[in-house]
Structure 1
Amino acid sequence: MDYHLRPAAPEDHDWIYACKAASVRPYVEPVWGWDESFQRRDFDSDFASIGQFRVIETPEKPIGFLQILDGKDYVEVAELHLQPDCRGQGIGSSILRRLLADCRQQGRPLRLGCFKDNHRAKALYQRLGFRQTAETETHCILEASPEQRMPDSED
C-alpha cells in the first residue's frame, strides 16, 4: 500500500484521538475501564507536543499515526496505530524498519511498548529484532539496539 508520513496539524487532533481510542480501547477497557474524560485529557496533554506526531496517509486518506519521543540516548515509539483495514499489509513493519535504520545510523536504540495482551503487535516487534527488556503489570517494553542486525524480509 502506498503511504507517506506528514507532520500532524492541529486539525488532525480529533481524527488522531479517534484512531487511538479505537485501537487501544479493547486493551484499556478490561484493565482500567474506559473513562472518556480521562482519555481525552491524557491525549490532549500528549498532543500539546504536536511536533512528536506524524500522520500516516495514503493519497486518499489518513490511515494511522505515529508519535515519536526523541530522547538523548534513545528514540521511543510512544504510539503507532493504523486503521483496522490497513493492518497486516506491511505498513507498520515498513515504518519501524525505517526508524530502525535511522536509529542504527545515529547509534541509538529504538524503544517501544505494547499491551501484554496485544500478541500480534509483540510478535511483529520481535520479528523485526526487538527484544523484551522489561515489563509492567500491563505492558511489555521492547528495544532494538543499534548493533542488532535488522531482518531482511518484509512482513
Structure 2
Amino acid sequence: MNTIITYRKASENDIGYLLDLRIKTMNPHYADSNLPTDKETTLQRIQYQFDKAHIILLNNEPAGLLKINKADDKTEVLQLQIDPSQQGKGLGKTILTDILEEASAAGKTVALSVLKTNKAQYLYTSLGFKTVDEDEHSFFMEFQGGFDNLSHL
C-alpha cells in the first residue's frame, strides 16, 4: 500500500461521519443477523467507549474508524470500520498487521469480535486470529502474541 495512514482522536464533531460510516459498513451485517439497525441503536454503538475512537486517515482524508483498547496484558480491537470505497485495498490488513506487530513485541494477546455474517472474519483468520468463543451472532477471536505467529504476514 503506497499511502500514508495516520489517526486522529475522534471528537463529537465526527458523529455525523461515524453515523454514515457505521450505516454503510455495519448495518447490513446487523440486518443479516436480525439485530437492530435503527438510528438510536446505531448512535449507542458509536458512543460505546468513544474515548478510544480514532478516525483513520488515508492521505489525510477520513477512511474509517479504529476503536482500540490497549491494556497491560491485552489489546482489544473494539471496532474497525473501513469506508466501502477503501475496502479490498489492504487498508484493514495493514492496520491490523501494525496492531499485531506492536502487541507481539509486548507479548500481548489481541482480541476482537466479528459478526458471523461479516466476511471480515476471513481476513482475521488469514492474519492468524483463532476463534476462542462464539454466541448466537458473533465469533470472539484472539491472536496470541509472538513473532513466530507473524511470520506469514
TM-score range, shorter chain: 0.7 to 0.9
Please say which of residues 128-137 and 56-65 is displaced more in the overlay. 56-65
Q: Hey, what does 1:65 align to over in structure 2?
A: 65
Give percent identity, aligned residues only. 24
Q: Hey, what does 1:131 align to over in structure 2?
A: 130
In structure 1, list runs of 5 or more residues that go unmatched: none
TM-score by length of 1: 0.86
Q: Hey, what does 1:94 align to over in structure 2?
A: 94
CA distance in 1, matches of 2:40, 2:149: 43
* SS of residue matched to 2:31: helix
Alignment of 1:29-68 (within 5 A): 29-30=31-32, 31-47=34-50, 49=51, 52-59=52-59, 61-68=61-68
Report the alpha carbon displacement of residue 142 of structure 1 after superposing the two structures with TM: 0.7
* SS of residue matched to 1:99: helix
The alignment of Structure 1 onto Structure 2 pairs a total of residues equal to 149
Report the alpha carbon displacement of residue 117 of structure 1 after superposing the two structures with TM: 1.2
Report the alpha carbon displacement of residue 149 of structure 1 after superposing the two structures with TM: 1.4
Contact in 1 for aligned 2:22/2:42 (Cα 8 Å): no
Which 4+ residue blocks in structure 1 deviate beyond 4 angstroms? none
CA distance in 2, matches of 1:133, 1:126: 12
Report the alpha carbon displacement of residue 44 of structure 1 after superposing the two structures with TM: 2.7
Q: Hey, what does 1:21 align to over in structure 2?
A: 23
Please say which of residues 142-151 and 1-10 is displaced more in the overlay. 1-10
CA RMSD of aligned residues (A): 1.7
Contact in 1 for aligned 2:6/2:60 (Cα 8 Å): no
In structure 2, list runs of 5 or more residues that go unmatched: none
